[in-house]
Every structure is written in C-alpha cells, then in structure tokens.
Structure 1
Amino acid sequence: MERFWRKYIFPLVYAFIVYLSLRLINAVLTGFRFWERPWYDTGAEMILLSVGYLYMYLLNRLLQHYQQQTKPHSTAREYMVVTANILLISDGLILPMQHFFFFDTGGCDWYDVVNLTIIPTLFYLLYYTIRRANASLRKSYEQQLLLEKISNDQLQTELRFLKAQFHPHFLFNALNTVYFQMDESVGVAKHTVEKLSELLRYQLYDHQQTVAISAELQYLQSFIDLQKTRMNDHLQLQVEMDALLNKQSVYPLLLLPLVENAFKYAGGDYWIHISAQHQNGWLHFRVSNAIPPMEMKHKKGGIGLENLRRRLALLYPGKHALEISKTQDTFTAGLKIAL
C-alpha cells in the first residue's frame, strides 16, 4: 500500500499542491478568481497534474544516479543539474501547453511565466532535497548496520579462536595429571578421567551463552577437586564461595584460568586461597597462592592469562577489572565482573 501511494497517488497530490499554489499566487497578483470561472476550464487545466509523474520519475532517477556514484561529486553541480531538468519540464512542456490550450486570454502574461518558472522549481527542489536527505540517512544507517555486523563477526571469530586455544591448554594440563597418576593408581586415574569428561562436557555444551553463576562455581569446584588429586597432602587449600552467588548470569570459563594458574605455580609455603563474593552487583573473585622466591623472576603468565584478558575485553567491555599483583612469595589475581 505504501508503494502504491508513493508511486501513483503522491505525485498527483504534490502536483495539485503546486498547481493550487500557482493559482493562489496568480489570484493575489491579478485579482483573477479562478474558482469562479467555469468548472470545465479548471478541469481541463487539471490535466497538467499528470506532469507530476514526469517530475517525480525524473527526480527519482537523478537521485538514484547520484546515490550510486562511488566517487565524491560536487553537491552544487548536482543541484544545478536537478534545477535544469525541472526548468526543462516547466518551461519546455507546461508553459507551451498553458499558452496554447488553457489560458482564457489565449496567451501567457509575464507573471504567468515567472510563476511557472519559480514555483514548480522551488517545490520540486524541496522534494528532491527531502528525498536526498532520507536516502542519505538510510544509506548511512545501512552502512552502520553493515559495520556492526562485520565487527560482531570479527568478535565472534576471535572468541571462537580463543576458546579453541583454551581447550587444548586445559586438556594438556589435565592429561599430565592422568599420566602421573597411572604410575601410582589406575583406579585413581580412572576417577580423574571421569571427572575430566564431566568438565569437558560442560565446556562443549554450556559455553555458547551466559550461564547461572552457580553452575560456573560448581564446574570450578569440580576442577579444584580434580587438581587436588595430583597435589600432595601438604597443600593448604582454602575455598570460599558466597551463597549469594546463585542465579546471576555470567559468561562461563572466565574464572578457571586464575585457579588453574594458582595450581600450576603454587610453591614455597604451598598454599592456595580462592574466594568468590557478591558485592553491590559485582562478582569479586580472588585467587592467591604461595610461590617460591625464585618465581619472582619468571616470565609473565602464559597463554591462559593472556587469553583471559582478551576474552574479558570482548565479553565485558568497561564492566570488568583484572588486577595481577606479586610479592616476594605471593601471587594474587583479583577479578571483578558486573553481574
């Protein structure tokens, strides 16, 4: 319906507005009351309204032509071309028809020529300007949507790459655990493989969207239990999970790299402290572990922490804080995420 109105009805309505403006201005200038003349004279003159289709067709084609140009062009030159085409119709077509067929006096006076030159030109330039502005806004909006889609596709591709990079990293550490356990107890190694399969199942099926933080913490606890099987009895492990952390949504697998890093580098006094707290709509996650004094000189965190930084930047832009600190015998990682 909208297309029918725009293509078939609107040109006639707009042409009628132009015609009415012409006649009213003429009435003011000359005192000629066109509404008092015989109706068939006005009706015959209404035939000229069909020229509105020609105006609209020509202006739309010109707009399409300039919108499709890939190279920058002069706006002033564009409007000069548009004005010339409007004048070509007004003075080259309508004015002769008015002069020979529809004027009662049999000819056009000077004010008729002026009106037929200026009024349609102004009206149709206004129409072209509005159509041009709408087309530019629509084109800009479409380009913005395209840029957002490209950006989103790039982010999704990078996230998939980071996840693909993360799984082998986790699996490598877990298989090392199983490898050493097989020398000590096949039964314990089987139990570890079972726990590992549960962890991998969570990674494969639950990481596409946000999950309840309770599920993430349960997964984290399973990972801690798995790591405890390969640590000796001297490890002092303290885990605190806030009961208020339950149904809040969070992207999964963001806490694991910090815990994994603690188990990997724990040494010295051999203790690990893990805490998760809910404070004012934020998740405060903190992992500390003892390290031997010589660890102060070891290089920065490996692929796990760098992976985590990038995933946080993509998933929680402006809504997270990751702080890493190190003393002579302690390594601490604190993560804040808006829930």
Structure 2
Amino acid sequence: MKNSLRWLYPFFGGIILFNMLRVVTDFTKHDVFWAGDLRLHLISICFTIFLCYFYDIVWRRQLSKIISINNKSVIKEYLIVTLQLSTINIVLVLGQYAGIFYMGSGWIDYMLINVCFIPFLLIYYTLIRNEMVNKNYQDKMLTLEKLKADKSEAELKFLKSQYHPHFLFNALNTIYFQIDEENQEAKHSIEKLSDLLRYQLYDIEKEVTLEQEINYLQSYIAFQQLRMSDRLVLNTYFDPQLREQKVHPLLFQPLIENAFKYVRGEEYRIKLEMKLEDNLIRFYVENTVSQNQNIENIEHKGIGINNLKRRLYLLYPNRYSLDIEQVENLFVSKLTIKTV
C-alpha cells in the first residue's frame, strides 16, 4: 500500500508545482488565474507531472547507488542535481519552437519557471533522499540485528559441538582403562580414535601446516580401515612437498569419510591423492560404487558435504573449486585450494 502511494507523489507534486507557477505569473500580472489558452495550460500541467515522474525515477536510481557507497560529498551531489534541473530550459526552448509551450514574456517567463521549478524540485529531491537514507539505515539495522542473532546462534552451536567431543574423549579414556590388558586390538582402536579427537579439540589453531593435517588424515584413514573388509583395495599418495604450507584444518576429511562410507562394487577400491602444483593443493579421492547408487543421493545425505561447501566459501572465497561427480561405477571428488 505504501509503495503504491509513492507513485502518487509525483502526480500531486506536478499539480502543485504548475499551480504555484500560475499563481506567480498570473497574479503578478494582475491576470485571471489560469488566464490564457486552456489547451496550452493542460499541455503544460501534463509536462510538469511527467517531469516530476521522470526526476523521481532518475533520482531514486541515482540515490540507490550513492547511498550504497556511502557518498559523503553532499555539496557535489546537490550541484549535480541542480545541473540536471537546468536542462529544463533546453526542453522549454525546444517546446516553444515546436509550438507546444507559449513563453509570452520571453526571458521573464524562463526566469519565473526556473525560480519556481528548481527550488521546488530540490525540496522534492531532499524528501526522496531522506526517505531512502532512512530506509537504508533501517535495512542496515535489521541486517546488523540478524548478524548478531546469527553470531549468537553460531556461538551456541560451537559450544555445543565442543561439549560433545569433550564428553566422548573423556568417555573413551574411561573405557580404555576398563578393557582387559589382553585385548590390545581394542585398546589400539581407542588410542587411534582418541588421537583423532585430540587433534580436533586441542592441536588445531586457526590454520595448521599440511604436515599436521596429513598426519591427521593418515590416522583417520587407519582408523577407518579397522572397520572395513580385508578385500578393500586402498591406494594413497601424499606429495612429499606438502609440509609447511598453511591450510585450515578438517577440509579434506569429509571427502575421505564419504569414500569409506559409500565404497561399494566388485572392485571395492578407494584411491586418494594429495599433490602440490605451484601454489595449488590438489586433492583427489575416488571410490567404486554399485550401479544402482546415485551421486545425488550420496552428495545430499548428511551434513558433511554441505558444511564443507560453506566452510570453503567462507575461508577461501574465489580461491577454491570443489567438483563431485559420478563416472560410471566411480564416485569422484576433486578439491583444489589456492594457498596464497
């Protein structure tokens, strides 16, 4: 409703502006109000209304750009608007020669039109400007409130995610000491899982070296192998050049997890490679799948891949690519990260 009423403002503005001009011209000459050819008056009032609509549209578009970049040069802004308004005289001259407008008093009529039109339209511009500045301010405040709410929610989720691994880590230590000394295989499995949790909880900062990350991935792979069939064929390669380069942790693990989770088929094979090419880390993992498995079902199950995409978007904007595809009986994931 409010937006539809906005389109009436130029209409009433044009009527007020034209009648204001008629008051100045007719009464100062002691003529009858709206003296002269009624047809010319109607053309003039339509032109004035059109002019208000024209400037309303132009100024709103112009202001949307100015406000979005926080332009502080208000004087320059108003000088540009005044120059825009001065082009009315060109339209008046052309209209007079075309017989559309009647300027009976010559330069005096031009002067009166400028004196009436320009200040009025500058006031109209100011009203539009204030409206858009207030709207922009309200939008920013709403965005800020939303960001605060999102931040609070994220902090709660982070604290909650920390609590569960801590609980599990402590529980594993308790179970470890309850296992019989003769059951070394179970103790070894718990030690591996504890090492993985320790890395996630304590050993990672904002960024880690690739050597640290690779050590974690190798431990993770070894732990996953404990629950896999002996017929699994696993081929891994980590480039020896990957050592001191920095990377955000736990970006590769979800893709490895998917490979172990969905490996199927007669070959029952997983291939994993991580290489360094210039300043690009290229991570490749493939696993065999059965013919009836579908990439969309795999890709959208759980939250691991979606979380990974979100983290990559935030941590490496315009510096990564992630491709996940199914080629016949192979499920292939390729992650490339630009380190610097």
What TM-score, normalized to structure 1? 0.48
More helix by share: 1
